[in-house]
A and B are shown apart, each in its own frame.
Chain A
C-alpha cells in the first residue's frame, strides 16, 4: 500500500473478513439494514435536494428566460442568454481572470505550504505549538482577511509599503499601489486568500509527509540521495496523490472566491480584479439581468462540476490501487 493510501484510508474497502453467515440477521422491527440506512439518510437527502437541487434546476430554467419574472417583462429566450454569456467580452475577461487568479493562489499556496510542511516535518512533534499557531488563519473569516490585507496595503498609509521602504526595497511608501494599479491588483487581491489557506495546504501535505515510511528515506540515503535529490525523487512522487487532492480542493475554492475580493476592491479598478463570482453577482444585482446571470452561473457550475467529477473519479479513490 502506498503512503498516500495510508494518509487517506480506503473508504470503500470491504469490511474485515465477514463472520460466517454473512449479513447480520434482521432485527425485530422488520426493517432491513438497507431500509434502515435509507431512512437515516433520507432527511439529509431531502434537505439537500430542496436547498441545492431545486435552486439549481430553477437556475437552469431561469437561464432560458429574460427579465426578472416579477413583472410582465419575462419572456422565453431560448439559448440567447448562453450566447451572451459566452460572447460578452466582460464575462469572457472575468473567466480569464478567474483562471489566472486560481493559478496564482494555488501555485503560491503549494510552494509555501510545501516548504512549511517540510520544515515542520523535519522539526517533528516538538514543533506542535508552532504548527497550531500556523493553523489559526483557517478560522478567520475571508471577509476579515480581505479587509485586513486591504488595510495593510493601502497606498501611502499601509504598513506593507512602510516596512518595505524601511528595509530599502521601496524608495517611497507611495511607489507601489497594490490595490489601485490594474496590472498588479489581481496579485494583490490574491494575497489574503493565500495567507488564509496556505495553512490548509501545509496541514494536508504535513499529514501526507507523516505517512511516508521512514525506511524509504533510509534506503534512498544509503543509495546516496541527499537534500533536494531526496525531495524530488522520493518525497514528491510519494506525495503526488495528496498534492493532487489538495490542489483540486483549493483550486475549486479559489475559483469561487467572492468575499475576499469584494471587500478589497469590489472587482476594480476597471474590473481588473473582477472574477466570475463577482461578475455574476453584479450582473444579477447591479445590472438586473437575471437571465444572463443564470446562464453564466450555469456554465460556471458545469465547468466546476466537471472538474469536481474528474477529481472524485480519478483521484479520490485511494482504495483502487493502480
Chain B
C-alpha cells in the first residue's frame, strides 16, 4: 500500500515538474503578448508588472499606423507565398526522384541540400546582392523569395523525401497498371496519398521565409521590406518604443501560431522526421 502511495506521489511530482517546465518556458512569449495589451506607458513602467492593470489596444493602433508597417506585412506574405510555391514546385519532383529511383544524382542532391543547409547565410547573401542587382531584382518580393528559396528548398526536399519514403511501392504500381504515366501516377495518385506531408512541408517552407531576416536585411531597402526588418527598424527610427514593438512582434507571430495549430499532430511528425534525418 505504501509502495503504491510512493509511486503515486512520484508520478504526481513528475507531472508537476512537467507543467512547471512548460509554464516557465511559455512565460517569455506570454509576457510579450500581455505587454502588448498594456497602455504604452505601462509597458515600460518601473517596476514592471506581469499582468496588465489596464487593457488597451493603443500599442496595436500605434504600431500599425507607423509608416511602412502594413506594407511590410503585405511584402512578408507575398515573399513567403512566392518562396513556398517555388520551393514546392521544385522539391516535389526532386524528392520523388530521390526516394523512388535512388540514383546517384539523387543521393548527390540530398547531400548537397544538407550542405546548403549548413552554409552560413552571409556567405550566400553577400554575393546575391550583386547578382540579384544585375537582373533588377533587389528590393522586390520576387528577388527576396529567390534568395529565401536557398533555405526553403533544401528543407522541403528533405522533409518531402521523408514523407515519400512511407509510400508503399504497390500504390504507384497499381496506378501504372491502370494506365497512368509515371508523371500522372505521381500527380494523381502519389501526391494525394502524401497530401498531409506536402501540407506540412509547405508550412515549413512558408515559415522559413516568413521568419527569415538576414537576406531580407541585405536584399530589401524600402519597397520590399518585410516585417522582421520593420520590427528591427522600430528601434533605430523611433527610439526604443517597447509598447508598439511588442504589439508588432505579437501580430507578426500570429500566422506561425495559427499554422502550427492547424496541423499540430502532423507538424510534430514533420519536425521529428526533419530533425532526426537531417
A144-B231, A304-B120 as given contacts; A203 in contact with B213, CB under 8 Å: no
Query: Would you give the 0/1 interface string for A237-260, flagging 1 where the beta carbon is closer than 8 Å to chain B?
Result: 000001001100100100110110
Closest residue of B by beta carbon distance from A120: B18
CB-CB contacts below 8 Å: A115-157 with B? 116, 119-120, 122-123, 127, 130-144, 147-149, 151-152, 156-157
Give the contacting residue for A139; candidates B113, B116, B260; CB below 8 A. B260
A47-B90, A52-B119, A207-B275 as given contacts; A133 in contact with B22, CB under 8 Å: yes
Interface residues on chain A, size class? 35 or more
- Docked Cα-Cα span, A210 to B2, in Å, equals 30
Q: A residues within 8 A CB of B213?
A: 141-143, 258-259, 262
B54 on the A face (CB < 8 A) = no
Decide: A159 and B48 in contact? CB cutoff 8 A. Answer: yes
B62 to chain A, nearest CB (A): 16
Closest residue of B by beta carbon distance from A158: B48
Q: B residues within 8 A CB of A280?
A: 120, 122-123, 126
Give the contacting residue for B232; candidates A116, A262, A307; CB below 8 A. A262
Query: Would you give the 0/1 interface string for A275-312, flagging 1 where the beta carbon is closer than 8 Å to chain B?
Result: 01100110011000010011001101100110111011
B222 on the A face (CB < 8 A) = no
Decide: A55 and B131 in contact? CB cutoff 8 A. Answer: yes
A162 on the B face (CB < 8 A) = yes
Number of chain B residues whose Cβ lies closer than 8 Å to a Cβ of chain A: 97
Q: B residues within 8 A CB of A222?
A: none
Decide: A130 and B22 in contact? CB cutoff 8 A. Answer: yes
- Docked Cα-Cα span, A81 to B241, in Å, equals 41
A51-B147, A157-B44, A157-B48 as given contacts; A122 in contact with B14, CB under 8 Å: yes
Decide: B275 and A137 in contact? CB cutoff 8 A. Answer: no
Decide: B147 and A259 in contact? CB cutoff 8 A. Answer: no
A41 on the B face (CB < 8 A) = yes
B268 on the A face (CB < 8 A) = yes
B238 on the A face (CB < 8 A) = no
Closest residue of B by beta carbon distance from A129: B22
Decide: B32 and A148 in contact? CB cutoff 8 A. Answer: yes
Decide: B276 and A208 in contact? CB cutoff 8 A. Answer: yes
Decide: B50 and A159 in contact? CB cutoff 8 A. Answer: yes
Q: B residues within 8 A CB of A198?
A: 25
Give the contacting residue for A151; candidates B32, B97, B109, B228; CB below 8 A. B32
Q: A residues within 8 A CB of B21?
A: 116, 119, 134
- Docked Cα-Cα span, A59 to B96, in Å, equals 32
Decide: A195 and B272 in contact? CB cutoff 8 A. Answer: no
Decide: A256 and B231 in contact? CB cutoff 8 A. Answer: no
B105 on the A face (CB < 8 A) = yes
Decide: A139 and B207 in contact? CB cutoff 8 A. Answer: yes
A184 to chain B, nearest CB (A): 19
- Docked Cα-Cα span, A200 to B271, in Å, equals 8
B239 on the A face (CB < 8 A) = no
Decide: B90 and A204 in contact? CB cutoff 8 A. Answer: no
B131 to chain A, nearest CB (A): 6
A40-B93, A307-B118, A316-B278 as given contacts; A27 in contact with B182, CB under 8 Å: yes
Decide: A252 and B153 in contact? CB cutoff 8 A. Answer: no
B169 to chain A, nearest CB (A): 8
Q: B residues within 8 A CB of A62?
A: 127
Closest residue of B by beta carbon distance from A115: B21
Q: A residues within 8 A CB of B91?
A: 44
Q: B residues within 8 A CB of A293?
A: 126
Decide: A123 and B18 in contact? CB cutoff 8 A. Answer: yes
20 of the cross-chain contacts (CB-CB < 8 Å) are: A11-B165, A37-B105, A48-B112, A51-B128, A52-B150, A55-B127, A55-B131, A56-B124, A116-B21, A123-B14, A135-B271, A136-B29, A139-B253, A143-B231, A144-B253, A195-B25, A300-B120, A301-B120, A304-B119, A312-B115
Supplied contacts A141-B256, A262-B232, 6 more A-B pairs, CB within 8 Å: A52-B150, A132-B264, A259-B213, A297-B123, A300-B122, A304-B119
Residues on A close to B: CB < 8 A? 7-9, 11-12, 15, 27, 29, 33-34, 36-38, 40-41, 43-45, 47-48, 51-52, 54-56, 58-59, 62, 69, 116, 119-120, 122-123, 127, 130-144, 147-149, 151-152, 156-159, 162, 173, 195, 198, 200, 203-204, 207-208, 242, 245-246, 249, 252, 255-256, 258-259, 262-263, 276-277, 280-281, 284-285, 290, 293-294, 297-298, 300-301, 304-305, 307-309, 311-312, 316
